[in-house]
C-alpha cells in the first residue's frame, strides 16, 4: 500500500480522512510507534508490532480504531485493543490467489533450478544445463489449508502433483486427490514441503532440528506463510548435510534477511522479500477495503 500510496489519497479525502504514509522499509519499532501513534485517530497496520504497549500508548492519545492490512494477524494484539476500547478490523481471505501464484512459482524454480541458471548467465557469463526434476507425480506436503493453501493445492493438482495437507483446523477438504495427515506423520514421503500456515503457538518452529532426520534426502522446502514457522538454523544444517536440496523463502525469522545469513551461501536457494501478496490488483483491492473499514469505524 505504501508503494502505491498516491493513488489512494483521493479515497481517503472522499471519506474526510487525512492520510499520512509511514516512512519505513519493513516495520517500525515499538519505540517509534509509541512515539507517533498518539497523534493519529486511526492506524492501518502492516507487519508492525501492534503490541499491548503500543496500542496503550495510542489509546492514551487520539487513537480510536485500527485495521490490519492483509491476511496475517499474529503481530496485532486484538484482545488488548478490545480492552482499551479501540475499534478493530482485519481483511482475511484477500490474497489467496496471489500468494498461491508465487508459491507455485517457487516450486517450479526449485525443481528446475531456473533462478540459479539465471544468476550464472548474468553474473558469470556461463551457459549451465542443470538437470531439473519433473513436477508430475511428485508429492507435496502442504502445511496450512486456509484460503492460500486451497489456492495452492488447486495449482499443484493442475501440475499433476500429489498434495497431502497438514492442518488440524481446516474445514473439510473439498478437492479431489487431496489427503490429510497429522504433522509430521509421513513427512518423509514428501518431495516438497510447502508452508502457507499462519504463525501461532502450534506452528512456531514446527519445522526444526528434530524433524530433519525424518525428511526425504534432497527435499525442497518453500515458505510463503510466516518466517518463524521454520527454525532457520535447521534449514542451514539440512542444506549443509545435503538432506535439504534447496529452499525458497518469501518470509524469514528476521526481516530483512541479514547480510551475514548462512542461507545466502547455497546457490540453489531462492529468496523473496515478504512480497507474496504484492500485485497491483491485490494491493488496490485490499487497500480500498482497509480505507473503507477505518473510515466506517471513525464515523
What proportion of the chain, given as a percentage, has pLDDT over 90? 95
* Mean pLDDT (the chain, rounded): 96
Q: Is 53 a catalytic residue?
A: no
The three-state (H, E, C) secondary structure of 95-130, written as one string? CHHHHHHHHHHHHHHHHHCHHHHHHHHHHHCCCCCC
CATH of 2-93+279-298 among 3.40.50.620, 3.40.50.720, 3.40.50.2300, 3.30.70.3190: 3.40.50.720
Which candidate, 205, 206, 189, 204, places its Cα nearest to that of 140? Answer: 189
- State residue 107's pLDDT score: 98
- State residue 267's pLDDT score: 97
pLDDT digits (tens, 9 = 90+) for 274-292: 999 999 999 999 999 999 9
pLDDT digits (tens, 9 = 90+) for 205-220: 999 999 999 999 999 9
Of the residues 11, 255, 284, 292, which is catalytic? 255
The C-alpha cell that represents 294 in the structure block: 477505518
pLDDT digits (tens, 9 = 90+) for 17-53: 999 999 998 899 999 999 999 999 999 999 999 999 9
Q: Is 245 a catalytic residue?
A: no
pLDDT band at 299 (very low <50, low <70, confident <90, very high): very high
- State residue 26's pLDDT score: 84
Which candidate, 45, 51, 33, 58, places its Cα nearest to that of 1? Answer: 45
Residues in a beta bridge with 143: 166, 195
Q: What is the total residue count of the chain?
A: 299
Per-residue pLDDT, averaged over 222-246, amounts to 98
pLDDT digits (tens, 9 = 90+) for 46-86: 999 999 999 999 999 999 999 999 999 999 999 999 999 99
CATH code 3.40.50.720 region(s) in the chain: 2-93+279-298, 96-271
Per-residue pLDDT, averaged over 163-167, amounts to 96
- State residue 176's pLDDT score: 67
CATH of 96-271 among 3.40.50.720, 3.40.50.300, 3.30.70.260, 3.40.720.10: 3.40.50.720
pLDDT band at 170 (very low <50, low <70, confident <90, very high): confident
Per-residue pLDDT, averaged over 154-181, amounts to 88
Pairing of β 219-223 and β 192-195:
parallel
Per-residue pLDDT, averaged over 184-199, amounts to 98
pLDDT band at 204 (very low <50, low <70, confident <90, very high): very high
pLDDT band at 175 (very low <50, low <70, confident <90, very high): confident
pLDDT digits (tens, 9 = 90+) for 103-125: 999 999 999 999 999 999 999 99
Determine the Cα–Cα distance for residues 267 and 246; give it in Å rounded to an integer.
Answer: 8
Of the residues 226, 231, 245, 253, which is catalytic? 226
Q: Is 105 a catalytic residue?
A: no
Opening angle at CA 296, ends 295 and 298, nearest 5? 65
Determine the Cα–Cα distance for residues 238 and 72; give it in Å rounded to an integer.
Answer: 28
- State residue 172's pLDDT score: 72
- State residue 230's pLDDT score: 98
pLDDT digits (tens, 9 = 90+) for 137-146: 999 999 999 9
Amino acid at each position: 500500500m505504501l508503494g502505491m500510496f498516491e493513488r489512494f489519497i483521493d479515497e481517503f479525502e472522499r471519506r474526510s480522512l487525512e492520510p499520512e504514509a509511514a516512512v519505513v522499509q519493513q516495520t517500525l519499532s515499538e519505540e517509534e510507534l509509541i512515539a507517533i501513534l498518539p497523534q493519529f485517530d486511526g492506524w492501518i497496520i502492516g507487519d508492525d508490532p501492534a503490541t499491548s504497549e503500543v496500542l496503550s500508548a495510542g489509546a492514551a492519545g487520539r487513537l480510536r480504531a485500527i485495521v490490519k492490512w492483509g491476511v496475517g494477524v499474529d503481530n496485532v494484539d486484538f484482545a488488548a485493543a478490545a480492552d482499551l476500547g479501540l475499534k478493530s478490523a482485519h481483511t482475511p481471505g484477500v490474497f489467496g490467489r496471489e500468494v498461491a501464484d508465487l508459491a507455485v512459482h517457487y516450486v517450479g524454480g526449485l525443481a528446475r533450478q531456473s533462478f540459479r541458471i539465471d544468476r550464472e548467465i548474468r553474473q558469470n557469463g556461463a551457459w549451465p544445463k542443470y538437470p531439473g526434476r519433473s513436477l508430475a507425480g511428485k508429492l507435496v506436503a502442504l502445511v496450512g489449508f486456509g484460503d492460500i493453501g486451497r489456492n495452492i493445492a488447486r495449482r499443484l493438482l493442475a501440475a499433476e502433483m500429489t498434495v497431502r495437507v497438514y492442518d488440524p483446523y481446516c474445514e473439510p477438504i473439498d478437492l479431489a486427490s487431496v489427503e490429510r495427515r497429522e504433522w509430521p506423520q509421513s513427512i518423509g514421503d514428501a518431495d516438497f514441503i510447502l508452508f502457507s500456515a499462519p504463525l501461532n503457538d502450534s506452528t512456531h518452529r514446527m519445522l526444526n532440528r528434530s524433524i530433519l532426520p525424518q525428511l526425504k534426502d534432497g527435499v525442497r522446502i518453500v515458505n510463503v506463510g510466516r518466517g518463524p514457522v521454520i527454525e532457520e538454523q535447521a534449514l542451514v544444517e539440512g542444506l549443509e548435510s545435503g538432506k535439504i536440496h534447496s529452499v525458497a523463502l518469501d518470509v524469514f525469522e528476521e526481516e530483512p534477511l541479514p547480510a551475514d545469513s548462512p542461507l545466502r551461501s547455497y546457490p540453489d536457494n531462492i529468496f523473496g522479500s515478504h512480497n507474496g501478496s504484492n500485485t497491483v490488483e491485490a494491493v488496490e483491492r485490499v487497500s480500498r477495503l482497509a480505507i473503507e473499514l477505518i473510515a466506517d469505524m471513525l464515523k
